[in-house]
Amino acid sequence: MYAELQVSSNFSFLRGASHARELAAAAAAYGYPAIALTDRNTLSGIVLAHTHLKKNPESGTRFIVGCRLDLTDGFSLLCYPSGREAYGRLTRLLTLGRRRAGKGECSLTLSDVERHSEGQHFIFPFPEVLNDAVKRQIRSCGNLFRGRFHLALTHSCRGDDARWIRTVAEFAGSSGVPVVATNDVLYHSPDRKPLQDVMTCIRENCTLDQAGFRLEANAERYIKPPEVMARLFTDWPRAIEATLEIADACRFSLDELRYEYPEEITGPGMTAFEDLARRTWAGAAKRYPQGIPDEVRAQIEHEFKLISAREYAPYFLTVHEIVKFATSRGILNQGRGSAGNSLVCYCLGITQVDPIKHKLLFERFISAARNEPPDIDVDFEHERREEVIQHIYEKYGRDRAGIASTVVHYRSRRAIREVGKALGLSEDIVGGLAKSIWGWSNKGVTSDSVQEAGLDPSDKRLKMALELSQELIGFPRHLSQHVGGFVIARGRLDELVPIENATMRDRTIVQWDKDDLNELGMMKVDILALGMLTAIRKAFDLIQIHYGKRYTLSNIPQEDSVYAMLQSADSIGVFQVESRAQQSMLPRLKPKEFYDLVIEVAIVRPGPIQGDMVHPYLRRREGKESIEYPSEALRGILEKTLGVPLFQEQAMQIAVAGAGFTPDEADELRRSLATFRHVGTISSFRDRFLRGMLDRGYPEKFAERCFSQIEGFGTYGFPESHAISFANLVYVSAWIKYHYPGVFCAALLNSQPMGFYAPAQLVRDARDHGVEVRPIDVNFSHWDVTLEPAATGGHAIRLGLRMAAGLPEKEGKAIVEARGAGYRSPGEIAMRAGCGRIALNRLAQADAFGSMNLQRRQALWDVSALDGKMPPLFRSAQRHLFDEPETCLPPSSPSQDVVQDYQATGLTLRSHPLEFLRSHLRAQGVSTAHDTRQAPNNKLITVAGLVLFRQQPLTAKGTIFLTIEDETGAVNLIVWQDTHRKYRRAVFTGKLLACRGVVQREGQVLHVVARHIWDWSAKLKSLQEERGRETLPVRSRDFR
Chain positions contacting another protein, by CB under 8 A: 128, 157-160, 162-164, 193-194, 197, 208-209, 211-215, 217-220, 423, 427-428, 431-432, 435, 453-454, 460-461, 464, 845, 857, 860-861, 864-865, 881, 884-885, 887-892, 900, 984-985, 988-989, 1026-1030
Q: What does the alpha-carbon distance between residue 790 and residue 563 come to, in Å, rounded to a whole number?
A: 28
Could you say which DSSP state residue 147 is in? T
Q: What is the C-alpha separation between 955 and 402, in angstroms, rounded?
A: 37
CA dihedral 571, 572, 577, 581 (to 10 degrees): 100
Cβ 287 to another protein shortest distance, Å? 53
- Rounded to a whole number of angstroms, the minimum distance from the CB of residue 903 to another protein is 9
Q: Quick check: 895 and 903 in contact, CB under 8 A?
A: no
Q: Tell me how far apart the alpha carbons of residues 537 and 539 are, in angstroms, rounded to a whole number.
A: 5
Which pairs count as long-range contacts for 587-591, CB under 8 Å and 24+ apart, including other chains? 587/1003, 587/1004, 587/1005, 588/618, 588/622, 588/1002, 588/1003, 588/1005, 589/618, 589/621, 591/563, 591/566, 591/567
CB of 217 to another protein, least distance (A): 5
CB 363 → another protein: shortest distance, Å? 48
The whole-angstrom separation of Cα 1027 and Cα 379 is: 50
Nearer to another protein, 708 or 878 (CB): 878
- CB nearer to another protein: give 266 or 900: 900
What letter represents residue 220's amino acid? Answer: E
**What is the secondary structure of 754-769 as a DSSP string?**
-SSS-HHHHHHHHHHT
- Nearest approach, Cβ of residue 905 and another protein (Å): 14
Identity of the residue, 613 or 859, whose beta carbon is nearer to another protein in the bound complex = 859
The whole-angstrom distance between residue 613's C-alpha and the CA centroid of its chain comes to 26
Nearest CB to another protein, comparing residues 211 and 1005: 211
Q: Which residues of 200-220 are buried (b: 16+ CB within 10 A; e: fewer)?
A: bbbeeebebeebeeeeeeebb
For another protein, the closer CB: 585 or 859: 859
In DSSP notation, 909-947 reads SS--HHHHHHHHHHHTTPBPHHHHHHSPTT-EEEEEEEE
Q: Are 532 and 754 in contact (CB under 8 A)?
A: yes
Verify cis geometry, omega within 30 degrees of 0, for the bond prior to 753.
Answer: yes
Minimum Å distance from CB 989 to another protein?
Answer: 6
Rank residues 215 and 356 by Cβ distance to another protein and give the closer one: 215
Residue 342's closest CA among 270, 264, 287, 268? 287
* CB of 813 vs another protein, minimal distance in Å: 25
Name the residue nearer to another protein (CB basis): 130 or 285: 130
SS3 state at 217 = coil
Let me know: does 1003 contact 996? Beta carbons within 8 Å. no
Element (H, E) at 373: none
Q: State which residue, 211 or 657, has the beta carbon closest to another protein.
A: 211
Q: By C-beta, is 118 or 427 nearer to another protein? A: 427
* In the complex, least distance from residue 197 CB atom to another protein, rounded to whole angstroms: 8
Q: Which is nearer to another protein, 744 or 949 (CB)?
A: 949
- Residue number, 855 or 955, with CB nearest to another protein: 855
E strand intervals along 645-793 = 773-774, 786-789
Smaller CB separation from another protein, 825 or 892? 892
Cα 16 to Cα 39: distance, rounded to the nearest angstrom: 8
Smallest separation (angstroms) from another protein to the CB of 822: 25
In whole angstroms, the minimum distance from the beta carbon of 985 to another protein comes to: 5
Q: Which is nearer to another protein, 159 or 269 (CB)?
A: 159
Tell me the CA distances in angstroms from 852 to 709, 824, 848, one per residue in order.
Answer: 63, 6, 9
The phi and psi torsions of 120 (rounded to 5 degrees) equal -100, 145
- To the nearest whole angstrom, how small is the minimum distance from the Cβ of residue 479 to another protein? 23
Q: How far is the CB of 881 from another protein (least distance, A)?
A: 6
**Backbone φ/ψ region at 60: left (φ over 0), alpha (ψ -120 to 50), beta:** left
Taking the complex as a whole, the smallest distance from the CB of residue 347 to another protein amounts, in Å, to 51
